[in-house]
Structure 1
């Protein structure tokens, strides 16, 4: 497997999860994942193993462009449900995911992005700081505050 294929395999699911939370639209998130990898490959080629932070920056910008063009629709909760569970467990999972996504939607857009990156992208605070062009300490403070807001909303 070449370096780019490995980079794609390692990051596609995380990128999709981030974009799904950011846009709230599963088909749009799939399109944005593809678009982000195409833009990355076209602009930066197959150099080394790739930069996850750069990929997420490209994806973030593409998502912001798409959101500007059309309003986000609520997330596809069924995409987050594990089919291996009993029907009762699936209902509980569906309700929990729905409640969490609604709570995340109530956050400010930047808080929503930060929470999504921390939860799904497996990026370091330094890499997230590079995406937002802020200091690493600022990222830590904002993530902490966003988590507190999310906890209050969920309570």
Structure 2
């Protein structure tokens, strides 16, 4: 169990961050993080300590949760991680996180997942392609386009700066 405990410690924050970007919900991401590790251990035992396998399980858990959420027609949570002791700084940070997560939620599911996988800073473009069953070049193009869409969502006035 020591190797799996070590695997958990090394990957729990990355999986949480990935799921947070994917779902946009702090509480759901925390629940799905635990569920992902639980599923991985239950299905694969101590041999399940492969990062790509864990991300696949986390992705599937997020998809299951999204389906369930759609069926139950639940609203979004507006909770975000708190930072620092300064209430004004926490509010500014929360607003920035909320704005970014809202922008990410506006992306289509494939783009959202690509951004989340890339932001996890765990996988190469080739590995992401394998996880999603698309070519490495397709990953690069889709990531580029997703970043442009995200930038346009976050900075809608930036498109008007080109001709000045």
1:33-56 CA-to-partner distances (Å, cap 9, x unmatched) read 1221122122222238x2111100
Mean Cα displacement is larger for which, 4-13 or 35-44? Answer: 35-44
Mean Cα displacement is larger for which, 97-106 or 34-43? Answer: 34-43
Mean Cα displacement is larger for which, 11-20 or 144-153? Answer: 11-20
Q: Which has the higher contact order (CA 8 A, sep 6+)?
A: 1
State how 1:6-155 maps to structure 2 within 5 Å. 6-47=6-47, 50-71=49-70, 73-79=75-81, 81-84=82-85, 86-120=86-120, 122-155=122-155
Shift of 1:73: 4.2
Q: What TM-score does the superposition give when structure 1 sets the normalisation length? A: 0.86
Total equivalences in the alignment: 152
Structure 2: stretches of 5+ with no match in the other structure: 156-164
Q: What TM-score does the superposition give when structure 2 sets the normalisation length? A: 0.82
Query: Residues 121 and 92 from structure 1, CA distance in 2 versus in 1: closer, same or farther, beyond 3 angstroms?
Result: same
Shift of 1:63: 1.1
- Kindly indicate whether the alpha-carbon contact (under 8 Å) linking 1:19 and 1:32 is maintained by their aligned counterparts in 2: yes
Shift of 1:90: 1.9
- Kindly indicate whether the alpha-carbon contact (under 8 Å) linking 1:18 and 1:117 is maintained by their aligned counterparts in 2: yes
Aligned-pair Cα RMSD in Å: 2.0
Shift of 1:75: 4.8
Query: Residues 27 and 89 from structure 1, CA distance in 2 versus in 1: closer, same or farther, beyond 3 angstroms?
Result: closer
- Kindly indicate whether the alpha-carbon contact (under 8 Å) linking 2:24 and 2:102 is maintained by their aligned counterparts in 1: no
